[in-house]
Amino acid sequence: MAKGHRSQIKRERNAVKDTRPSATLRYARVPVQKACFVLDAIRGKGYTEAVGIVTYNPRYASSLIKKLLESAAANAQNNAGLSLDKLFVAECYANVAPTMKRIQPRAQGRAYRILKRMCHITVVLDEKK
């Protein structure tokens, strides 16, 4: 257990900058649960294998995640100078974003709530050692 006050521990942890190439899609119009089905399939896979999985996955989230993977790979090539052959999906996760609330009119003056859920999707690549 680290010594010090809670804020001091958080400050030390946040001082270390993660230099791995990544890409984030904010406010994606897909629920977290549905995005995680695709993310679970590519977690830990090599870059080319992950792109192949996402390309032929019929889910809507896979098209979003494919663009995200390609963006993270472009960041790896241009900013870090890494080779695509050595890249793999180190982390990928979806966090909850704000939910759009809509109303569906029903019989006898009632109104049902429709929740259009969104998420923030993050893909982090890393180089195989």
Mean pLDDT of 30-39: 97
Mean pLDDT of 77-101: 95
Domain definitions of the chain by residue range: 21-127
Residue 129 predicted with pLDDT over 90: no
Mean pLDDT of 53-67: 97
What proportion of the chain, given as a percentage, has pLDDT over 70? 98
Residue 110 predicted with pLDDT over 80: yes
Q: With helix as H, strand as E and coil as C, how does the chain read?
A: CCCCCHHHHHHHHHHCCCCCCEEEEEEECCCHHHHHHHHHHHCCCEHHHHHHHHHCCCCHHHHHHHHHHHHHHHHHHHHHCCCHHHEEEEEEEEEECCCEEEEEECHHHCEEEEEECCEEEEEEEEECC
For 79, the token pair is 């900013």
On whether the 21-127 domain is CATH 3.90.470.10, my answer is yes
Tally the residues of the chain: 129
pLDDT band (50, 70, 90) for residue 102: very high
| pLDDT value for 13 | 82
